[in-house]
Amino acid sequence: MTLLGHDLQGQVIRPPAEAESILLQVTLGCSHNKCAFCPAYKGKRFAIRPPQAIRAALDHAAEHLSDLRRLFLCDGDALILPQDRLESLLRDIRERLPQVTRISSYANAKALSRKTEAELARLRSLGLSTLYLGLESGDDQVLSDMHKWGDAHEHLRQAAKAKAAGLKLSVTVLLGLGGRDRAREHAQATGRALSRMDPEQAAALALMIVPGTPLAERLERGEFHPQDDQGLLQELYWLLEATDLSGGLFFSNHASNPLRLRLRLPRDKASGLALVQAALDGQAPLVPQSYRRL
């Protein structure tokens, strides 16, 4: 993976859509970092990077990446920065990188809860445009089991606040996160939550259990029963069936997915459900496991 940034420390994760964005690392790790399924920042202690390091990265971008028009703030939840620091940062980006037309960031519910709607609107006016929010599940039991910060209602409240401030939302959910034992509840509650959030984009990924995570330890102890491809497809059907967006994109095209969809809802919902049903019936090909990150 090519990283378009300067002095990036540790593992840096960005959404697929930000593949050609300037990566500006303003925090290290994740301020929550307790999700049972997530391996991303387990070896990285959360910290806010010093202003001089951020200025050096901006100077490097101005000199070497002046043709790029998109910028992504990382690591896991850059929005956790104090409001005055974020406002100053966005002004610096506007001054030093005037060609940048889109600034985006990961944002979890914890970080959003610390901002008022007016503060988020101020960030929007300074150039922040898109937030990537990891809902993962709309089922409170699954969220609790996975040690996510906040229940489904809290995620809905924070998403509504961000949208009211004029920010675009890209929301991620995880097929298989409830295991076989809570598959239907997880999928249907997640679809209902996405419907209420009504993001510009929703992406369904398939759970990948990574060694060393608390979820992997539960698996080894027989406390978690993962889905097979048929189960993931059934969850995708239930999820899509319960999801109603007012014009947003719905994806299941991550490398982890057994069936890849790219739909515009509500226009493509019926055709999407038909394709998932065909896959369930063995009449549509799945992505070979050799092409998936399993």
pLDDT tens-place string over residues 11-22: 788 898 898 999
Residues 6+ apart with CB under 8 A from 223: none
Rounded to whole angstroms, the Cα distance separating 286 from 108 reads: 32
Out of 38-52, 102-116, 162-176, 276-290, which region has the weakest mean confidence (pLDDT)? 38-52
Query: What rounded mean pLDDT belongs to the chain?
Result: 94
To the question of pTM greater than 0.85 for the whole model, the response is yes
* Common-topology check for domains 1-106 and 133-294: no
Q: Where are the beta strands (DSSP E) in 200-272?
A: 201-206, 249-251, 262-264
Label the pairing between strands 249-251 and 27-28.
Answer: unpaired
Considering the segment(s) 133-294 as one domain, its CATH architecture is 2-Layer Sandwich (3.30)
Residues 6+ apart with CB under 8 A from 112: 79, 120, 131, 133, 158, 159, 161, 162
Res 3: pLDDT: 61
Res 9: pLDDT: 81
Considering the segment(s) 1-106 as one domain, its CATH architecture is Alpha-Beta Barrel (3.20)
Res 13: pLDDT: 85
**In the chain, where are the structural domains located?**
1-106, 133-294
pLDDT tens-place string over residues 259-293: 999 999 999 999 999 999 999 999 999 998 877 76
Mean pLDDT of 180-201: 98
pLDDT tens-place string over residues 13-58: 889 889 899 999 999 989 898 999 999 887 778 899 999 999 999 9
Residues 6+ apart with CB under 8 A from 4: 20, 21, 22, 23, 65, 68
Q: What percent of the chain has pLDDT over 70?
A: 98
pLDDT tens-place string over residues 225-240: 999 999 999 999 999 9
- Work out the pLDDT band at 1, boundaries 50, 70, 90: very low
Mean pLDDT of 134-138: 97
Q: Which amino acid is at 161?
A: K
